[in-house]
């Protein structure tokens, strides 16, 4: 139930704040999902953490968590600054926001940490969002080049 609520809120925020820009960046959300799947398949596989309260699972990861990650990736990229110095601060800020959400999910039992803690998650979030930012630049650049050709 927690993942359903989180996913619905994330998509509602996309609908309200991203709007028509969604059609320009929808592909980029899949990069975030790929990064999350890599990290979470390793994390759950090595029993660092687990998601005990999901409904439908894909390799130990709740399917709604995958949808929520897609939505969160779109939201992160929607407001990603163009200037590199601002991107660093923005990435730290968004990582802290996502960490608060993760702490809430941990508190209500949607995620458990047999061999993990929130400090590791903060580092992983910063790294994952930085990779998302970096890799999305290639996809956007290719899309702009295709439009101008």
Assess whether pLDDT exceeds 60 at residue 117.
Answer: yes
Report the domain count for the chain: 1
Orientation of helix 63-78 relative to helix 118-148, angle to 10°: 60
- Whose structure tokens read 């061999």? 115
Give the integer Cα–Cα distance in Å for 131 and 80: 13
Place of tokens 């709740």: 62
Average pLDDT of the segment spanning 102-113: 95
Band of pLDDT at residue 141, cut at 50, 70 and 90? low
pLDDT at residue 3, as a whole number: 86
Q: What is 118-136 written as a DSSP string?
A: HHHHHHHHHHHHHHHHHHH
Residues spanned by the domain of 66: 2-148
Residue 100 pLDDT > 50, yes or no?
A: yes
Q: What is the pLDDT of residues 118-140, one digit of tens each?
A: 999 999 999 999 999 999 988 87
pTM: 0.90
Cβ within 8 Å of residue 130, ≥6 positions away:
91
Q: What is the mean pLDDT of the chain?
A: 92
In this prediction, residues 22-39 reach a mean pLDDT of 95
Both structure tokens of 45: 């596989």
Percent of the chain's residues with pLDDT above 70: 94
Task: Indicate the pLDDT class of residue 144, thresholds 50, 70 and 90.
Answer: very low
* Token reading at 111: 């995620």
Average pLDDT over residues 32-50: 96
């Amino acid at each position: 139930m927690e993942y359903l609520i989180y996913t619905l809120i994330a998509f509602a925020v996309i609908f309200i704040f991203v709007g028509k820009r969604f059609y320009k960046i929808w592909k980029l959300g899949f990069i975030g999902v790929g990064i999350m799947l890599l990290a979470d398949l390793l994390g759950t596989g090595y029993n660092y953490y687990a998601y005990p309260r999901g409904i439908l699972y894909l390799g130990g990861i709740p399917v709604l968590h995958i949808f929520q990650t897609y939505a969160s990736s779109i939201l992160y990229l929607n407001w990603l600054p163009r200037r590199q110095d601002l991107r660093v601060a923005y990435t730290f800020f968004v990582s802290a926001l996502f960490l608060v959400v993760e702490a809430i999910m941990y508190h209500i039992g949607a995620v458990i940490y047999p061999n993990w803690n929130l400090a590791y998650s903060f580092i992983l979030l910063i790294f994952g969002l930085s990779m998302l930012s970096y890799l999305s630049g290639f996809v956007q650049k290719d899309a702009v080049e295709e439009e101008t050709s």
